[in-house]
Amino acid sequence: MRRPSLLVALTLALLVIAASSAMAGSDLIEDIKNKGEIVIGTTLAAPPFAFKDENGKPAGFEIDLMNKLGEYMGVKVKVEDMAWAGLIPALLSKRIDIIGSRMSATLERATKITFAHPWLLTGTFACATEKSGAKTWEDLNKEGVKVAAIAGALGAKVVETKLPKAELVTFELDGDQRKALADGRVDAAVNDELIVQEFAAKIDGVKMLDGNMQPDVYAYALRPDVDSMHLKEWLDLYFATIMRTGEYGAIYEKWLGKPFKPSFDFLP
């Protein structure tokens, strides 16, 4: 009778050890530091945030923040360029470690992924052709008006909810949206504030419309697992640190052309 009891006890002990190991998981920061590289996903088609320079290398506001992150963590940064709709699937399938793009932190997305503290306060704005006659974004809410937005982005959702009479036309990349507007295939475009400002400044016959359609914040995104929690806390502290040291402000002014004005409500 003793041998079966001993065998049962040993089996239970091994099961407890295995379960504890499984629950403990691994630390994503430790994994990143061990391989000496962090893989960050974004879309290189939206200057001044993220684009390819004349040499074909990643550049922009987002890229400088990523490179600064690599300096603080002591690892190389690998930028994975992909379509906007592919970012979250790539994160969840572990093709990338985090999303470092200008992703809006929404409750809907937070059911699938985890967000670090926001790194930029912004909003959803619209621009339109002079021919449209629109002065404010509300003027776009008419039948026959075609409004371009990025598939899967907050702007598309805003158009659906706030411009229900207009026709929503979606694109995978900001560059495709811009070309459609320049070619006259759409009457207006809805996107992040700075993207829309660039459209209005560089496309003849296109102007910025009055009004912020919806205030917004950008945040890095992580997988909602135990392995990523340490990295989330690290990212919160990273952004708090560079905002307080002035490093964030220097990057902000370099790409956005205006001084960064910190808010204690915004700081992590």
Domain ranges for the chain: 28-119+219-256, 123-216
Domain 123-216 fold:
D-Maltodextrin-Binding Protein; domain 2 (3.40.190)
- In order along the chain (268 residues), what is the average pLDDT of each group of 10 residues? 51 49 71 98 92 96 98 98 94 98 93 96 95 96 97 93 98 93 97 91 95 93 97 97 96 93 60
Q: How many residues comprise the chain?
A: 268
12-61 confidence digits (pLDDT tens): 554 544 444 444 558 999 999 999 999 999 999 888 999 999 999 999 99
Contacts of 32 (CB under 8 A, 6+ apart): 38, 73, 75, 97, 231
Element (H, E) at 62: helix 61-73
Structure pTM? Answer: 0.76
DSSP assignment letter at 205: T
Per CATH, the architecture of 28-119+219-256 is what? 3-Layer(aba) Sandwich (3.40)
| pLDDT of 149 | 97
Work out whether strand 120-129 and strand 206-208 pair parallel, antiparallel, or are unpaired: antiparallel
**Fold match between domain 28-119+219-256 and domain 123-216:** yes
- Residue 196 to residues 72, 91, 133, 142, Cα–Cα distance (Å): 32, 27, 17, 20
The Cα angle at residue 49 between residues 189 and 111, in degrees rounded to 5: 75
